[in-house]
């Protein structure tokens, strides 16, 4: 399975990350991407994961400036799938740790004890299927020929060849010890607990 991508040497690149269920944010990014691509067909959009899991009601009330928005996780997944179909090979989704929870990764617990179960319990079977389709096809890393490496977290030196990502399974139960270590740093930041 292809889990890494090397971008072309020429073109424009839009990079975004961590919309965490904020549909308004992804809609704004989508409009920017569509406008850029209309100007330059060699425009790519790399979405660096954690598109799902909005804040709970209490957090929305306590910290409205940061957290008061409805959970648009599923709408975001559908918007990305639509953009990938509309712009084949130009919209690249890179897995985040919150997304990974839905397809074999550790379940996150930032706003709910189990954010994966909390979201999936609200989805219809066809929605769950589309969510899994996007996350199962996700990349783990994107690189640009200029030397930029794009990932959700901060990989350590256990990642030394992007081709090893293609052999790495999604399910943590099927990963080897070195794969587990490599994916933990790739999908989380230094010092961040696996559950948040």
Contact stretch for Mn ion (CB under 5 A) within 25-33, 43-51, 78-86, 138-146: 43-51
Q: Please report whether residue 16 would count as binding Mn ion according to CB under 5 A.
A: no
Give the Cα separation of 179 and 27 in Å (integer).
35
- Least Å from the CB of residue 194 to Mn ion: 10
Query: What is the token pair recorded at 22?
Result: 């904020």
50 binds Mn ion (CB under 5 A): yes
Which CB atom, from 49 or from 90, has the smaller least distance to Mn ion? 49
How far apart CA 141 and CA 182 sit, in angstroms, is 12
Asked if 151 is part of the footprint of Mn ion (rule: CB under 5 A), the reply reads no
Closest contact distance (angstroms) between CB of 151 and Mn ion is: 11
What CA–CA distance (Å, rounded) separates 80 from 1? 20
Q: How many residues bind Mn ion (CB under 5 A)?
A: 3
Minimum distance, C-beta of residue 196 to Mn ion, in the bound complex (Å): 8
CB of 101 to Mn ion, least distance (A): 10
Q: Rounded to an integer, what is the distance from CA 80 to the centroid of its chain?
A: 10
Residues 80 to 99 in contact with Mn ion, rule: CB under 5 A: 96-97
Q: Which of residues 154-193 bind Mn ion (CB under 5 A)?
A: none
Query: Where in 95-124 is the site for Mn ion (CB under 5 A)?
Result: 96-97
Min dist CB 43 to Mn ion, Å, is 25
Q: Where along the sequence are the contacts to Mn ion (CB under 5 A)?
A: 50, 96-97
């Amino acid at each position: 399975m292809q889990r890494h991508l090397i971008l072309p040497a020429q073109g424009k690149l839009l990079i975004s990350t961590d919309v965490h269920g904020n549909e308004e944010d992804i809609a704004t990014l989508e409009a920017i991407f569509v406008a850029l691509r209309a100007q330059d067909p060699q425009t790519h959009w790399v979405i660096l994961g954690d598109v799902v899991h909005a804040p709970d009601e209490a957090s929305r009330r306590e910290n409205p400036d940061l957290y008061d928005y409805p959970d648009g996780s599923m709408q975001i997944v559908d918007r990305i799938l639509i953009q990938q179909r509309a712009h084949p090979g130009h919209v690249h989704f890179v897995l985040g740790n919150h997304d990974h929870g839905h397809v074999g990764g550790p379940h996150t617990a930032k706003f709910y004890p189990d954010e994966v179960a909390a979201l999936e319990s609200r989805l219809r079977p066809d929605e769950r299927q589309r969510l899994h389709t996007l996350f199962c096809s996700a990349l783990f890393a994107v690189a640009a020929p200029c030397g930029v490496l794009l990932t959700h977290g901060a990989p350590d030196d256990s990642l030394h060849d992007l081709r090893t990502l293609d052999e790495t399974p999604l399910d943590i139960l099927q990963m080897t010890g070195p794969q587990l270590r490599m994916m933990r740093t790739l999908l989380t930041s230094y010092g961040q607990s696996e559950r948040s």
